Amino acid sequence: MAVDRIALITGANRGLGQSAALALARRGVRVVVTHRGDADGAEETAQRVRAEGGTAAVLRLDIRDVSSFGTFVAELSQLLERYGDASRLDIMVNNAGVGVFGPLEAVTPDDFDTVFDTNVRGTFFLIQSVLPLLAPGAGIINVSSSLTRHTSPATSVYSASKAAVEIMSRTLAAELGPRGIRVNSLAPGPTATDFNGGAMRDDAEMRRGLAQQTALGRVGEPEEIGDAIAALASESLRWVTAQRVEVSGGVLL
C-alpha cells in the first residue's frame, strides 16, 4: 500500500500558503504548516485540513533566522519519525516571503536587507538545511511573482528578489536533478490575498484596473494558486523541472 506523501509549506498560516496546504491535503498529501509567529493562523490552517479529513502539523519557522534552521530541521525530523516516515519529505513549498514597496528614493538599506534576507537568503539556506530529509523524487516549488516578467512602479526590490529566486530554482534543478529532485518556480499574478495590505483583495478600483489588463478579465483567487501548486507538485508532472510556471490569468501580456 502506497504511503501518503508529506509536504512542508512555509508561511502557510495565511494567503497562498494556506491555500496550498488545503489543495495538497485534498489530494491526500500530509502537510507540515509553518509560521513565523502567527500560531493562531497556522492552527486555523491545520484545523481546516483536519476538518476535511487530512493530516496536518504545525511548526514555527522564521526564514530570516538562518541560525534557527538546525533546530527546525531536528523538530521536522522528529515529526517525520512520528509519521513513520523518517527522513522522507516529498514536497517542499517555499512560500514564505515579504514585500517592501516604494520608489527608489524611499527604499532604505534595511528595507532591501529585509526583502533579500527573507525571499532569497532564507529560501536558499532552508533548502540546504532540509535537503537531507528530501526523498529521491521529491519536488521543490519556490513561489515567485509575475513581476519578474512585467513591471510595476515601486516594486524594484521585491521583483529583483523574486528574479533571484527563479534563477536559483533553475540552477538547483540542475544540481539536484541527479538525486531525482525536481525544482520549479511558480509565479502568481495579482491575487486577492492580504499581501501588501490586502490591496488586490479590498481595493475595488485596483481590482477593476487589473482586470482590464488581464486576459481572463479578473484578479486571481488564492484557491487558484493553491491548486496550481498542488498540480505542479503532483506525480502527473514528475518530468517537469527547472521551469517557471506563471499563474496570472494572463496579466499584462
The yes-or-no answer on residue 83 being catalytic is no
Chain centre distance of CA 54? 20
What is the pLDDT, as a whole number, of residue 3? 55
Q: How far is CA 91 from CA 38, 97, 184, 233, in A?
A: 22, 18, 11, 7
What is the pLDDT, as a whole number, of residue 13? 97
Q: How far is CA 92 from CA 74, 113, 198, in A?
A: 16, 24, 26
What is the pLDDT, as a whole number, of residue 85? 65
Chain centre distance of CA 231? 14
In a domain, residue 199? The reply is: yes
Q: How far is CA 244 from CA 48, 186, 201, in A?
A: 29, 6, 25
In a domain, residue 120? The reply is: yes
Number of domains in the chain: 1
For the whole model, what pTM was predicted?
0.95
In a domain, residue 129? The reply is: yes
In a domain, residue 107? The reply is: yes
Chain position carrying cell 530570516 = 64
SS3 146: helix
In a domain, residue 1? The reply is: no
| Torsion-angle region of 30 (φ positive above 0: left; ψ -120 to 50: alpha; else: beta) | beta
In a domain, residue 45? The reply is: yes
In a domain, residue 51? The reply is: yes
Write phi, then psi, for 93 (nearest 5 degrees).
Answer: -110, 110
| Torsion-angle region of 198 (φ positive above 0: left; ψ -120 to 50: alpha; else: beta) | left
C-alpha cell at position 162:
523574486
In a domain, residue 253? The reply is: no
Cβ–Cβ under 8 Å, residues 238 and 232: no
Cβ–Cβ under 8 Å, residues 41 and 14: yes
Give residue 83's domain range: 6-247
Q: Residue-wise pLDDT tens for the chain (253 aa)?
A: 345 899 999 999 999 999 999 999 999 999 999 999 999 999 999 999 999 999 999 999 999 999 999 999 999 999 999 887 667 999 999 999 999 999 999 999 999 999 999 999 999 999 999 999 999 999 999 999 999 999 999 999 999 999 999 999 999 999 999 999 999 999 999 998 876 666 666 678 878 888 999 999 999 999 999 999 999 999 999 999 999 999 999 999 9
CATH number, domain containing residue 65: 3.40.50.720
What is the pLDDT, as a whole number, of residue 202? 63
Q: Choosing from 94, 158, 222, 249, which is the catalytic residue?
A: 158
Cβ–Cβ under 8 Å, residues 184 and 242: yes
